[in-house]
Amino acid sequence: MKRVTIIGGGLAGLIAAIELAHAGIHAILVERKAYPFHRVCGEYISNEVVPYLNSRNLFPESYNPPAIKEFQLSTIDGDSKIMPLDLGGFGISRYTYDNFLYERALSHNVEFCLNTEVTSVDFEQGAFRVKTDHDEWKTDLVIGSFGKRSRMDRVMNRSFLRRRSPYVGVKYHVRTEHPNELIALHNFPGGYCGISNIEGGKSTLCYLTHVSNVKRYRSIGEMEKNVLWRNPLLKTIFNESEFLFDKPEVINEVSFETKSPVDGHVLMAGDAAGMIAPLCGNGMAMAIQSARILTREAIPFVRGEIRREEMESRYRKQWNDEFSSRLWRGRQIQKLFGRELTSRIAVSLVMSIPPLARSIIRNTHGRPF
Protein backbone atom coordinates (compact mmCIF):
# COMPACT_ATOMS: atom_id res chain seq x y z
CA MET A 1 0.00 0.00 0.00
CA LYS A 2 1.41 3.37 -1.02
CA ARG A 3 1.75 6.31 1.39
CA VAL A 4 -0.50 9.38 0.97
CA THR A 5 0.06 12.96 2.17
CA ILE A 6 -2.66 15.63 2.02
CA ILE A 7 -1.55 19.27 2.17
CA GLY A 8 -4.31 21.52 3.51
CA GLY A 9 -7.18 20.70 5.83
CA GLY A 10 -10.12 22.55 4.31
CA LEU A 11 -13.21 20.82 2.99
CA ALA A 12 -11.47 19.07 0.09
CA GLY A 13 -8.58 17.84 2.24
CA LEU A 14 -10.80 16.58 5.04
CA ILE A 15 -13.22 14.83 2.69
CA ALA A 16 -10.31 13.22 0.83
CA ALA A 17 -8.84 11.95 4.10
CA ILE A 18 -12.20 10.51 5.17
CA GLU A 19 -12.79 8.86 1.78
CA LEU A 20 -9.34 7.25 1.87
CA ALA A 21 -9.98 6.03 5.41
CA HIS A 22 -13.25 4.44 4.26
CA ALA A 23 -11.18 2.52 1.70
CA GLY A 24 -8.76 1.36 4.39
CA ILE A 25 -6.00 3.74 3.26
CA HIS A 26 -3.96 5.67 5.82
CA ALA A 27 -3.18 9.32 5.04
CA ILE A 28 -1.26 12.10 6.76
CA LEU A 29 -2.99 15.49 6.58
CA VAL A 30 -0.84 18.59 7.12
CA GLU A 31 -2.60 21.82 8.15
CA ARG A 32 -0.84 25.04 9.10
CA LYS A 33 -3.48 26.00 11.69
CA ALA A 34 -5.34 24.16 14.48
CA TYR A 35 -9.09 23.56 14.42
CA PRO A 36 -11.45 25.32 14.74
CA PHE A 37 -10.67 28.49 12.77
CA HIS A 38 -12.36 30.88 10.35
CA ARG A 39 -11.88 31.05 6.57
CA VAL A 40 -13.02 33.62 4.01
CA CYS A 41 -16.00 31.85 2.47
CA GLY A 42 -19.65 32.50 1.62
CA GLU A 43 -20.66 29.52 3.82
CA TYR A 44 -23.54 28.28 1.67
CA ILE A 45 -23.64 24.64 0.50
CA SER A 46 -25.83 23.51 -2.38
CA ASN A 47 -28.10 20.55 -1.69
CA GLU A 48 -26.34 18.66 -4.49
CA VAL A 49 -24.00 17.28 -1.80
CA VAL A 50 -26.67 16.14 0.68
CA PRO A 51 -27.12 12.54 -0.59
CA TYR A 52 -23.35 12.01 -0.42
CA LEU A 53 -23.01 13.62 3.03
CA ASN A 54 -25.85 11.47 4.38
CA SER A 55 -24.26 8.34 2.95
CA ARG A 56 -21.07 9.07 4.93
CA ASN A 57 -22.80 10.45 8.05
CA LEU A 58 -21.23 13.85 7.33
CA PHE A 59 -24.33 16.05 7.24
CA PRO A 60 -24.15 18.47 10.23
CA GLU A 61 -27.73 17.86 11.37
CA SER A 62 -26.97 18.49 15.05
CA TYR A 63 -26.21 22.17 14.22
CA ASN A 64 -29.65 22.68 12.60
CA PRO A 65 -28.26 24.51 9.55
CA PRO A 66 -30.78 26.91 7.94
CA ALA A 67 -32.45 25.60 4.78
CA ILE A 68 -31.99 28.15 1.95
CA LYS A 69 -34.62 28.17 -0.80
CA GLU A 70 -34.62 31.66 -2.35
CA PHE A 71 -32.12 33.94 -4.06
CA GLN A 72 -32.14 37.76 -4.09
CA LEU A 73 -30.13 39.80 -6.59
CA SER A 74 -29.76 43.58 -6.35
CA THR A 75 -28.23 46.31 -8.51
CA ILE A 76 -25.80 48.91 -7.23
CA ASP A 77 -28.67 51.35 -6.61
CA GLY A 78 -30.71 48.76 -4.66
CA ASP A 79 -33.28 47.50 -7.19
CA SER A 80 -33.74 43.81 -6.47
CA LYS A 81 -35.47 40.61 -7.49
CA ILE A 82 -36.15 37.47 -5.42
CA MET A 83 -36.47 34.12 -7.18
CA PRO A 84 -36.66 30.48 -6.09
CA LEU A 85 -33.58 28.28 -5.89
CA ASP A 86 -34.68 25.07 -7.58
CA LEU A 87 -32.20 22.88 -5.72
CA GLY A 88 -31.61 25.03 -2.66
CA GLY A 89 -28.96 24.59 -0.03
CA PHE A 90 -28.05 25.09 3.61
CA GLY A 91 -25.85 27.45 5.57
CA ILE A 92 -23.09 26.51 7.98
CA SER A 93 -19.87 28.27 8.96
CA ARG A 94 -16.46 26.92 8.02
CA TYR A 95 -15.46 27.35 11.67
CA THR A 96 -18.10 24.81 12.66
CA TYR A 97 -18.18 22.50 9.66
CA ASP A 98 -14.43 22.11 9.16
CA ASN A 99 -14.11 21.22 12.85
CA PHE A 100 -17.03 18.79 12.53
CA LEU A 101 -15.25 17.02 9.63
CA TYR A 102 -11.94 17.11 11.53
CA GLU A 103 -13.54 15.23 14.42
CA ARG A 104 -15.08 12.73 11.99
CA ALA A 105 -11.66 12.24 10.38
CA LEU A 106 -10.07 11.61 13.79
CA SER A 107 -12.69 8.96 14.46
CA HIS A 108 -11.54 7.28 11.22
CA ASN A 109 -7.91 7.32 12.47
CA VAL A 110 -6.69 9.96 10.01
CA GLU A 111 -3.25 11.22 11.10
CA PHE A 112 -2.94 15.02 11.45
CA CYS A 113 0.06 17.33 11.57
CA LEU A 114 -1.49 20.59 12.81
CA ASN A 115 0.23 23.96 13.26
CA THR A 116 2.59 22.69 10.56
CA GLU A 117 3.47 24.28 7.23
CA VAL A 118 4.82 22.42 4.23
CA THR A 119 7.92 24.18 2.92
CA SER A 120 8.69 22.05 -0.15
CA VAL A 121 7.45 19.12 -2.20
CA ASP A 122 9.91 17.46 -4.58
CA PHE A 123 9.08 14.63 -6.98
CA GLU A 124 11.94 12.39 -8.00
CA GLN A 125 12.32 8.75 -8.99
CA GLY A 126 8.60 8.09 -8.74
CA ALA A 127 8.05 9.44 -5.21
CA PHE A 128 7.74 12.72 -3.30
CA ARG A 129 9.85 14.16 -0.53
CA VAL A 130 7.70 16.41 1.67
CA LYS A 131 9.44 18.88 3.96
CA THR A 132 7.71 20.87 6.70
CA ASP A 133 8.94 23.36 9.27
CA HIS A 134 9.23 20.40 11.70
CA ASP A 135 10.01 17.24 9.74
CA GLU A 136 10.37 15.55 6.36
CA TRP A 137 9.30 12.23 4.86
CA LYS A 138 8.82 10.31 1.64
CA THR A 139 5.36 9.66 0.24
CA ASP A 140 3.95 8.08 -2.91
CA LEU A 141 1.00 10.42 -3.49
CA VAL A 142 0.46 14.08 -2.62
CA ILE A 143 -2.99 15.67 -2.65
CA GLY A 144 -2.99 19.48 -2.73
CA SER A 145 -5.98 21.11 -1.03
CA PHE A 146 -4.37 24.31 0.14
CA GLY A 147 -7.07 26.72 -0.95
CA LYS A 148 -7.27 29.84 -3.09
CA ARG A 149 -3.74 31.11 -2.67
CA SER A 150 -1.00 29.77 -0.42
CA ARG A 151 2.71 29.47 0.09
CA MET A 152 2.57 26.10 -1.66
CA ASP A 153 1.46 27.78 -4.89
CA ARG A 154 4.66 29.85 -4.75
CA VAL A 155 6.82 26.88 -3.77
CA MET A 156 5.49 24.97 -6.80
CA ASN A 157 5.81 28.06 -9.04
CA ARG A 158 2.29 27.58 -10.34
CA SER A 159 1.60 29.49 -13.52
CA PHE A 160 -1.50 31.39 -12.35
CA LEU A 161 0.66 33.36 -9.88
CA ARG A 162 2.37 35.14 -12.76
CA ARG A 163 -0.84 37.10 -13.34
CA ARG A 164 -1.58 39.43 -10.45
CA SER A 165 -5.16 39.43 -9.23
CA PRO A 166 -6.97 42.67 -8.31
CA TYR A 167 -9.53 41.12 -5.92
CA VAL A 168 -9.79 41.15 -2.13
CA GLY A 169 -12.18 38.90 -0.18
CA VAL A 170 -13.65 40.01 3.18
CA LYS A 171 -15.90 38.08 5.59
CA TYR A 172 -17.84 38.86 8.78
CA HIS A 173 -20.26 37.01 11.01
CA VAL A 174 -23.14 39.22 12.09
CA ARG A 175 -26.47 39.07 13.88
CA THR A 176 -29.15 40.75 11.82
CA GLU A 177 -32.71 40.44 10.56
CA HIS A 178 -32.19 38.24 7.53
CA PRO A 179 -34.67 35.53 6.48
CA ASN A 180 -33.41 31.97 7.04
CA GLU A 181 -34.53 30.80 3.61
CA LEU A 182 -32.81 33.60 1.63
CA ILE A 183 -29.34 34.01 0.16
CA ALA A 184 -28.77 37.50 -1.27
CA LEU A 185 -26.16 38.92 -3.63
CA HIS A 186 -25.88 42.72 -3.60
CA ASN A 187 -23.84 44.64 -6.16
CA PHE A 188 -21.69 47.66 -5.34
CA PRO A 189 -19.09 49.53 -7.44
CA GLY A 190 -16.22 47.15 -8.13
CA GLY A 191 -17.68 44.11 -6.41
CA TYR A 192 -20.56 42.25 -4.83
CA CYS A 193 -21.55 41.09 -1.35
CA GLY A 194 -23.41 37.95 -0.29
CA ILE A 195 -25.39 37.37 2.88
CA SER A 196 -27.04 34.21 4.16
CA ASN A 197 -27.73 32.59 7.51
CA ILE A 198 -25.68 29.94 9.26
CA GLU A 199 -25.98 28.01 12.51
CA GLY A 200 -26.66 29.65 15.86
CA GLY A 201 -28.83 32.50 14.59
CA LYS A 202 -25.89 34.16 12.82
CA SER A 203 -25.42 35.40 9.26
CA THR A 204 -22.36 35.34 7.03
CA LEU A 205 -21.59 38.62 5.27
CA CYS A 206 -18.91 38.05 2.65
CA TYR A 207 -17.85 40.27 -0.24
CA LEU A 208 -15.37 40.52 -3.07
CA THR A 209 -14.01 43.95 -3.99
CA HIS A 210 -11.45 45.41 -6.34
CA VAL A 211 -8.17 46.25 -4.60
CA SER A 212 -8.39 49.83 -5.94
CA ASN A 213 -11.35 50.42 -3.61
CA VAL A 214 -9.25 49.49 -0.57
CA LYS A 215 -6.22 51.51 -1.69
CA ARG A 216 -8.31 54.60 -2.33
CA TYR A 217 -9.83 54.71 1.16
CA ARG A 218 -6.85 53.24 3.07
CA SER A 219 -8.98 51.06 5.41
CA ILE A 220 -11.64 48.38 5.09
CA GLY A 221 -14.12 50.36 7.21
CA GLU A 222 -13.80 53.58 5.24
CA MET A 223 -14.00 51.69 1.97
CA GLU A 224 -17.23 49.99 3.09
CA LYS A 225 -18.86 53.31 3.98
CA ASN A 226 -17.86 54.97 0.72
CA VAL A 227 -18.30 52.04 -1.70
CA LEU A 228 -20.51 49.24 -0.37
CA TRP A 229 -22.98 51.68 1.15
CA ARG A 230 -23.71 53.04 -2.34
CA ASN A 231 -26.15 50.12 -2.42
CA PRO A 232 -28.90 51.14 0.06
CA LEU A 233 -29.62 47.49 0.90
CA LEU A 234 -26.02 47.01 2.00
CA LYS A 235 -26.04 50.27 3.94
CA THR A 236 -29.04 49.04 5.91
CA ILE A 237 -27.38 45.69 6.62
CA PHE A 238 -24.17 47.32 7.85
CA ASN A 239 -25.99 49.86 10.03
CA GLU A 240 -28.50 47.45 11.57
CA SER A 241 -26.28 44.43 12.23
CA GLU A 242 -24.26 43.37 15.25
CA PHE A 243 -20.75 42.51 14.03
CA LEU A 244 -19.33 39.50 15.88
CA PHE A 245 -15.65 39.64 14.80
CA ASP A 246 -13.13 42.05 16.30
CA LYS A 247 -11.85 42.49 12.76
CA PRO A 248 -12.84 40.99 9.41
CA GLU A 249 -11.31 37.89 7.86
CA VAL A 250 -9.46 39.06 4.73
CA ILE A 251 -7.73 37.32 1.83
CA ASN A 252 -5.73 39.29 -0.76
CA GLU A 253 -5.18 38.65 -4.45
CA VAL A 254 -8.08 36.24 -4.91
CA SER A 255 -7.39 34.80 -8.35
CA PHE A 256 -9.96 33.47 -10.81
CA GLU A 257 -7.33 32.35 -13.32
CA THR A 258 -7.55 28.83 -14.73
CA LYS A 259 -5.55 26.29 -12.72
CA SER A 260 -4.60 22.69 -13.38
CA PRO A 261 -6.11 19.74 -11.45
CA VAL A 262 -2.72 18.00 -11.69
CA ASP A 263 0.45 20.04 -11.22
CA GLY A 264 3.91 18.52 -10.78
CA HIS A 265 2.23 15.12 -10.22
CA VAL A 266 0.32 16.59 -7.24
CA LEU A 267 -3.44 15.96 -7.47
CA MET A 268 -5.23 19.21 -6.68
CA ALA A 269 -8.69 19.50 -5.11
CA GLY A 270 -11.06 22.36 -4.32
CA ASP A 271 -9.79 25.89 -4.93
CA ALA A 272 -6.26 24.58 -5.48
CA ALA A 273 -7.51 22.77 -8.61
CA GLY A 274 -9.55 25.62 -10.07
CA MET A 275 -10.55 28.77 -8.23
CA ILE A 276 -14.29 28.59 -7.77
CA ALA A 277 -15.86 31.94 -8.62
CA PRO A 278 -18.70 32.86 -6.24
CA LEU A 279 -21.09 32.96 -9.19
CA CYS A 280 -20.45 29.31 -10.16
CA GLY A 281 -23.04 28.12 -7.63
CA ASN A 282 -20.90 27.56 -4.57
CA GLY A 283 -17.38 26.53 -3.80
CA MET A 284 -18.11 24.41 -0.74
CA ALA A 285 -20.14 21.83 -2.67
CA MET A 286 -17.61 21.78 -5.50
CA ALA A 287 -14.73 21.27 -3.07
CA ILE A 288 -16.54 18.32 -1.51
CA GLN A 289 -17.29 16.76 -4.88
CA SER A 290 -13.76 17.33 -6.19
CA ALA A 291 -12.33 15.40 -3.23
CA ARG A 292 -14.75 12.56 -3.87
CA ILE A 293 -13.79 12.42 -7.57
CA LEU A 294 -10.07 12.63 -6.76
CA THR A 295 -10.10 9.80 -4.23
CA ARG A 296 -12.13 7.59 -6.57
CA GLU A 297 -9.24 7.83 -9.06
CA ALA A 298 -6.46 7.74 -6.42
CA ILE A 299 -7.56 4.61 -4.54
CA PRO A 300 -6.69 2.16 -7.37
CA PHE A 301 -3.25 3.80 -7.66
CA VAL A 302 -2.60 3.58 -3.93
CA ARG A 303 -3.54 -0.11 -4.03
CA GLY A 304 -1.11 -0.68 -6.90
CA GLU A 305 -3.83 -1.48 -9.44
CA ILE A 306 -3.03 1.32 -11.93
CA ARG A 307 0.01 3.43 -12.80
CA ARG A 308 0.46 7.09 -11.89
CA GLU A 309 0.02 8.25 -15.49
CA GLU A 310 -3.38 6.56 -15.75
CA MET A 311 -4.52 7.98 -12.42
CA GLU A 312 -3.53 11.52 -13.43
CA SER A 313 -5.16 11.22 -16.86
CA ARG A 314 -8.40 9.89 -15.42
CA TYR A 315 -8.56 12.58 -12.77
CA ARG A 316 -7.93 15.39 -15.28
CA LYS A 317 -10.77 14.08 -17.43
CA GLN A 318 -13.17 13.66 -14.51
CA TRP A 319 -12.38 17.16 -13.22
CA ASN A 320 -12.87 18.79 -16.61
CA ASP A 321 -16.03 16.83 -17.38
CA GLU A 322 -17.60 17.83 -14.08
CA PHE A 323 -16.36 21.37 -13.49
CA SER A 324 -14.73 23.13 -16.46
CA SER A 325 -17.92 24.35 -18.18
CA ARG A 326 -19.45 25.30 -14.83
CA LEU A 327 -16.42 27.37 -13.90
CA TRP A 328 -16.42 29.02 -17.34
CA ARG A 329 -20.09 30.00 -16.98
CA GLY A 330 -19.42 31.42 -13.54
CA ARG A 331 -16.58 33.58 -14.84
CA GLN A 332 -18.76 34.94 -17.65
CA ILE A 333 -21.62 35.76 -15.29
CA GLN A 334 -19.18 37.40 -12.88
CA LYS A 335 -18.27 39.96 -15.55
CA LEU A 336 -21.77 41.42 -15.21
CA PHE A 337 -21.35 42.25 -11.53
CA GLY A 338 -19.73 45.17 -9.78
CA ARG A 339 -20.52 47.56 -12.65
CA GLU A 340 -23.48 49.90 -12.57
CA LEU A 341 -24.75 49.39 -16.11
CA THR A 342 -24.16 45.65 -16.47
CA SER A 343 -25.53 44.80 -13.02
CA ARG A 344 -28.68 46.77 -13.84
CA ILE A 345 -29.01 44.93 -17.16
CA ALA A 346 -28.53 41.56 -15.39
CA VAL A 347 -31.21 42.28 -12.80
CA SER A 348 -33.55 43.62 -15.49
CA LEU A 349 -33.16 40.40 -17.47
CA VAL A 350 -33.82 38.34 -14.35
CA MET A 351 -36.94 40.40 -13.60
CA SER A 352 -38.34 40.29 -17.13
CA ILE A 353 -37.40 36.74 -18.17
CA PRO A 354 -37.87 34.35 -15.20
CA PRO A 355 -37.05 31.22 -17.29
CA LEU A 356 -33.64 32.75 -18.09
CA ALA A 357 -32.96 33.30 -14.40
CA ARG A 358 -33.91 29.73 -13.55
CA SER A 359 -31.69 28.44 -16.36
CA ILE A 360 -28.67 30.42 -15.09
CA ILE A 361 -29.18 29.16 -11.54
CA ARG A 362 -29.64 25.58 -12.71
CA ASN A 363 -26.51 25.67 -14.90
CA THR A 364 -24.28 27.09 -12.17
CA HIS A 365 -25.26 24.37 -9.70
CA GLY A 366 -24.40 20.71 -10.02
CA ARG A 367 -26.51 17.58 -9.93
CA PRO A 368 -27.14 15.71 -6.67
CA PHE A 369 -24.60 12.94 -6.12
Percent of the chain with pLDDT over 70: 86
**Quick check: is 189 in a domain?**
no
- Is residue 85 assigned to a domain? no
- Give a yes or no: residue 46 inside a domain: no
pLDDT in tens, 59-76: 999 999 999 999 898 888
103 is a domain residue: yes
Residue 293 has pLDDT above 80, yes or no: yes
Nearest 5°: CA angle at 15, between 12 and 19? 135
In contact, 204 and 98? CB cutoff 8 Å: no
Which range among 78-82, 153-157, 306-310, 352-356 shows the weakest confidence by mean pLDDT?
352-356
User: Is 139 a member of any domain?
Assistant: yes
In this prediction, residue 343 carries a pLDDT of 59
- Greater model confidence, 299 or 340: 299
The residue among 323 and 140 whose pLDDT is bigger is 140
Show the domain range for 26: 4-39+94-163+254-343
What average pLDDT does range 278-297 have in this prediction? 83
Instruction: In whole angstroms, give the CA distance from residue 78 to residue 81.
Output: 10
pTM of the model: 0.90
b/e burial code for range 354-368 (CB count within 10 A of at least 16 → b): eeebeebbeebbbee
| Percent of the chain residues topping a pLDDT of 90 | 63
User: Could you tell me if residue 208 is inside a domain?
Assistant: no
Q: Is 218 or 5 the better-scoring residue by pLDDT?
A: 5
Report yes or no on 315 lying in a domain: yes
pLDDT for 191 = 87
261: CATH: 3.50.50.60
Q: Count CB-CB contacts under 10 A for residue 292.
A: 19
Q: Is residue 80 part of a domain?
A: no
Mode of pairing for the β-strands spanning 203-210 and 141-144: unpaired
Total tally of structural domains belonging to the chain:
1
**What confidence score (pLDDT) does residue 278 get?**
54
